[in-house]
Amino acid sequence: MQWGRFITGCLIGCCVTGTAWAQQPKAYRHLLRVYEDNDNINIRGVGTDQGYTNGSRIDYFFIKDKPSRFFLDRIMPKAGDSSLNTWGWGLMQVIMTPKNIIKRIPDKNDFPYAGALFATHTLHSTNSIKKYNIQTEFMFGVMGPPSLAKQTQRTAHRIVRIVQPGGWDYQLKTDPLLNMSVAGEKELVHINNSIEFIGGAQGFAGTALNGASLYSLIRIGRMTPYFDGYGSQFATPKGTRQRKQFYFILRPSVEWVLYNALIDGGVFNHSHEPVPGQPNDPNNDEPKKDPMVRKRFVAKLDYGMALSLGRVCLSFTQTTMTPMVKGTDIQEVGNVSVFLAW
């Protein structure tokens, strides 16, 4: 009789355990992100059209069921055998303009008119046990007139009825863009599930951007652990105890930029000066201006918040950075991102 009760209890326990296991929520395996960078998205209400003025991007992220055979995927570093790998493909357009967009011939010591259009292939590989991740991105694209930056900005300014930029005829010339970046992040301190301190470093090389950066990331609020995977930062599946997330982020960083194609010009056409000399005018009493000097070191501060409700997330961040070009002002760029998971 006792053996019968024991066996019956074991069977019931197995059934209950199996049912509980079957009811464990499955993480979303697909994530769509759409975001907009713009220097007129500004919490202080002081917009400009200077330097990095606009960036529009769309990304599709996914988790694969089987190991990838794609040759680029094989060379991307992974965060160990127990890593959760989130792959992605994206498309982005970037626009740069000088401080004074009214002039038909832009000043040589100011930001140039420049645009880029490129595709990206990414891997976010995270290790939830050892609390670190590796992020890799390949970029393939073009700068110059084929980027359609001129048409995009003029159309946007016409829609919102603001002054048309006058110097796009002197934008930096067409050049191929091929770049790779690798970043690593490691958890330093966490307090419950409400405060996280993370350290990070990034290096980038290619025909678009060469340099490195060091940064820290602080997250405060109600959120899932940062190293549970990229998608979990923005979406939580049904059945999860905590589906709502609301947290603040703070990310100070310092960047060393050896080369920036959208300021210095492309690798193959950088020596071709697109801006003609200013004509001699006896009525022009402005002092002679020196050529543009780009600063090698830039300090940045990103801060903002994210609100996630199940499969949908909305985030806002503001970036404040020291001048990238000597004689220009501190720049502020806002970002609005929308995420949808399934």
Q: For the segment 44-70, what is each residue's pLDDT rounded down to a tens digit? A: 766 667 789 999 999 999 999 888 888
Please report which helix (H) or strand (E) contains residue 91, including its range.
Answer: strand 84-97
Task: Please count the other Cβ atoms lying within 10 Å of the Cβ belonging to residue 298.
Answer: 19
Mean pLDDT of 95-99: 93
Is residue 287 situated within a structural domain? no
d(CA 168, CA 106): 9
Cα atoms in the 13 Å half-sphere on the side-chain side of 168: 18
Query: 39: domain range?
Result: 28-270+293-341
Q: Are 83 and 126 in contact (CB under 8 A)?
A: yes
Q: Does the pLDDT at position 286 exceed 80?
A: no
Give the chain's domain count: 1
Is residue 315 situated within a structural domain? yes
Q: Does the pLDDT at position 137 exceed 90?
A: yes
Q: Are 338 and 56 in contact (CB under 8 A)?
A: no
Q: Are 63 and 123 in contact (CB under 8 A)?
A: no
d(CA 36, CA 95): 12
Q: Are 285 and 261 in contact (CB under 8 A)?
A: no
pLDDT for res 246 = 98
User: Pairing between strand 114-127 and 132-143?
Assistant: antiparallel
Binned at pLDDT 50, 70 and 90, residue 8 comes out as very low
Is residue 5 situated within a structural domain? no
Q: Does the pLDDT at position 277 exceed 90?
A: no
Torsion angles phi and psi, residue 258, rounded to 5: -80, -35
Is residue 306 situated within a structural domain? yes
Quote the mean pLDDT of the chain: 88
d(CA 273, CA 227): 46
- Range of 221-230, 231-240, 290-299 with top mean pLDDT: 221-230
Torsion angles phi and psi, residue 180, rounded to 5: -140, 140
Mean pLDDT of 5-11: 45
Q: Does the pLDDT at position 4 exceed 80?
A: no
Q: Are 255 and 213 in contact (CB under 8 A)?
A: yes
pLDDT for res 284 = 44
Full-model pTM? 0.87
Is residue 304 situated within a structural domain? yes
Give, in degrees to the nearest 5, the angle at Cα 181 between 76 and 234.
80
Q: Does the pLDDT at position 42 exceed 90?
A: no
Tell me the pLDDT tens digit for each residue of 300-326: 999 999 999 999 999 999 999 999 998
Is residue 16 situated within a structural domain? no
CATH number of the domain that residue 221 is part of: 2.40.128.140
Is residue 98 situated within a structural domain? yes
Using alpha carbons, select from 184, 170, 324 the residue that is nearest to residue 259.
324
pLDDT for res 291 = 75
Is residue 13 situated within a structural domain? no
Q: Name 91's Cβ contacts closer than 8 Å, sequence gap at least 6.
A: 57, 58, 117, 118, 119, 120
